[in-house]
Every structure is written in C-alpha cells, then in structure tokens.
Amino acid sequence: MADENKMTKESQTLHEEQSGEPVKATPEYTPEEVQRLEEAGELPEAENIVDEALTGAMEAAEDAVDAPVVEGFDKAVTAVQEAFESVVDDTSAPHVQDYHDTVTIMGREVTVPGGIYTVVFVALGVFTLIEVLLSELPRGLLTVPLMLSLAFVKALLVVVYYMHLREDSRVFTFALVLPSVVMLVSVLFLLADAGTGY
Amino acid sequence: MSEMSVKQDKGYIAPPTNKVTIPDKKQIENAKFAMWLYLASEVVIFGTLIAVYVVFRFTNPEVVRQVHDELGIALVSFNTFLLLASSWAMVMGLRAIKRGDESGLVRWIGLTAIMGAVFVGLQYVEYSELAHLGLHLGTEWGMRFYAPTAFHGAHVIVGVFWALRIVARGRRGYYSPQNYLGVEIFGLYWHFVDVVWIFLFTIIYLV
C-alpha cells in the first residue's frame, strides 16, 4: 500500500512539473449522493469488476457446454475412449494414470515405460500406417471416409489422452468444439458452392 | 538522460528473475483456459487454410493426383511418425516432472525439440523437391499447399524454441512436482500442432 502511495505521489509530482499546475483531487461522493444512489440502486460496487466479468463469462460458458453439439462431441469422445479401453484397460483413475506403467491389453497385463501414453503412441503409429497403406491401394467408395475417420480418431486420442481433456473442465471441450463446428459448417458451405469459380 | 527519467528509473524496482512461484488451482485453471482459447483461434485459422485446399481438391482432382504421383509419400510419412513421436516425448516429459524426475523432463523435452527441428528440416527438403518439380508458390496448387503447411511449420519452429526454453529452465531446477504448469501449457500447444498435422497429412497428402 505504501508503495502504491509512493508511486501516486511520484506521478503527481511529474504531472505538476510538466503542466505547472497543482493536481486536483478527484471529488468523492457526498453522503447525500451516496444515499440517493443507494436508493436508486446505482451505487457502483467497489469489487473487482474484471474478476466479476471473468466469473460471469465462465458461468456463461459452463451453461453453454450443455449445447447439443458439445453433448454430441462428448459422446464421440466417450465412444472412442470406451472403444480404446475395451482393448486397452487402464484401470487407474485419470488423474493418477501418469504413475502407472502397467496396462491390460486384450486381457494381458503389459508393462511398458510410459503406460497408457506409450500405448496411445503405438496406436497412433498403427493407425497412420493403415492410412498410408489405404492411400496406396486402389480407391474404393469407402477409402476416403475411412482415412478421414482414422484421422479423426487419431486426433481424438491425442486430445483425450495427451491433452488430458477427459479429466479437465468441460469448458475446455467447449472452447475446442465451438470453432471446430463453425469451421466445419463454413467448409460445407464452401463445398456446396465449390464449382462457381472459387 | 533527463532528470525526469532518472527519477523514474530510481522509482522502478526490477522483480527478481529467479523466483519460483507455485501456482494455485485457480491460476492453473485460468492459464489452461487461456491456452485453450488461443488454440480455439488457431482452429479457425487452420480451418480456413484447410478449407481452401479442400475446395481446390474437389474442383481440381487431376492436378492433385498428378502432384501426389510425382511427390510420393515416403518422406512425409516418416515426418508424420516423427511428429507423433515428439508428441509422445512431450507427454513423457510432463509425466517425468510430475513424478519428480527433473533430468527426465530435460531429456524428454530435449528429444521433443530435436524431433521438431528434424521435422522442419525434412519439410525444407520436401519444399526443395517440390521447387525442382516446378511446384512453387505461384502455382494454383502451390499457394494452397504452402499456406497451411508452412504456417504449420512456423508453429513447429516456435514450439522448438519454446521446448528449448523449457529445457533451459528445467536444467536450472525451475520445475517440480508442485510447479509444472509451464510444461503443461507448452504441452497443450505442442499436441495441438500435432493434431493439426494429423489432419493436414490425411487431407493434403493422402486423400
């Protein structure tokens, strides 16, 4: 507090030196004005306005995470997680998984340095290999959708396990899903009109 | 120096640079939320660049097929594995410091930086090959290809320097099992760069 006063005093001195005029004190509310503003409910609160605004924004975001699109993404995340864990059983709670080197793969306990993180890395490598092999094969009707699906699953694995989205706040999910959906809708609009000279 | 600035200099006390503050839960959540918001803005930017390529891919399938035939996918596939491995090294570094293994943090994040640097180097090799094939920025395909991939490469370069900073701080003992927020925030950035590449690789090189 003493430092703040000191800085204020320095600023005041500087201003007075520059302008050559004494700095006038900011007038305070008179008791009558305070009473009138209180009755009208217009008295500004002395709380930290930035903090209040941030809290309000967080609450609004918390409400927004119940939107159907976020719910849908949540279901996709859960589905991938469940499918992955039906093969790889990491029984530890998410917040302590960092400490386990043993995971169960198809009913067999396997100990690898890094535990679930290493298993996810191997899965990412295998999926990439499948994608590359698919791209070298003759194209069928399902080739492209299959490759895009594999890319989506790989991205989800990174987001869920490496970026810890499964244990973090759902607001973070919302922050990722909202722009992704906007982007996807925009791409679909562009594709709908792709042949018109773009 | 004027008298006024001397006064200001005297009034300023530089904060200690080697002070380690342990972030509380609220600070951690705020920092992570801020990073996610930043990543959200990146989604829009990369999404736009990818959208431009996708539209071109739809309207000019022959051009894209010709480029794919000439370029091949061996180099870029290796680069993709490299970036996936760097993401794994990144998360292993975070795991190490959570377990109190400071030297492990330095080793893993150092490995992340090396793999990121090699990725950028190989991307340069690929660009050189493309230039020899006449596929430069001025071609219709080139501008749509270089924009997303080079922008991604720029992110990898930033990430490599960021990783080196983490390594330098880690060597000085800055991080601990109680203070690893900086590593975690960098991890979000690096994994996001990885996620972007997962889509770029599939959409630009494979589809």
Banded model confidence at residue B13, pLDDT cuts 50, 70, 90: low
**How close is the nearest chain A Cα to the Cα of B47, in Å?**
6
> Model-level pTM?
0.73
What is the pLDDT, as a whole number, of residue B48?
87
Contact B33 A175 (CB under 8 A): yes
Query: Which of the residues A90, A92, A162, A174 would you substitute to probe the B interface, choosing the one with the greatest number of B C-beta atoms within 10 Å?
Result: A162
The Cα–Cα gap between A22 and A115 comes to 69
Contact A117 B11 (CB under 8 A): no
**What percentage of chain B reaches a pLDDT higher than 90?**
61
What is the pLDDT, as a whole number, of residue A107?
73
The nearest alpha carbon in chain B to A140 belongs to B207
Q: Which residue has the tokens 């008298």?
A: B3
Of B36, B85, B98, the CB nearest to A176: B36
Tens digits of pLDDT across chain A (198 residues): 444 455 566 677 777 777 777 776 666 777 788 788 878 877 666 555 666 776 776 677 667 666 777 777 777 777 766 776 666 665 555 555 566 777 777 777 888 888 889 999 999 999 999 999 999 888 888 889 999 999 999 999 999 999 988 888 788 888 888 888 888 887 788 777 766 544
What is the pLDDT, as a whole number, of residue A88?
67
Contacts of B40 in chain A (CB under 8 A): 175-176, 178-179
Mutual orientation of helices B181-200 and A143-157 as an angle, nearest 10°? 180
The Cα–Cα gap between B8 and A11 comes to 9
Mean pLDDT for B78-99 is 95
The torsion defined by the Cα of A104, A109, A111 and A114, in degrees rounded to 10, comes to: 10
Residue A28: CB partners within 8 Å, gap ≥ 6? none
Query: Which of the residues B38, B111, B193, B202 would you substitute to probe the A interface, choosing the one with the greatest number of A C-beta atoms within 10 Å?
Result: B202
Determine contact: B199 vs chain A, CB below 8 A: yes
Window B:170-189, CB contacts with A under 8 Å: 187-188
Mean pLDDT for B1-14 is 48
Between B7 and B182, the higher pLDDT residue: B182
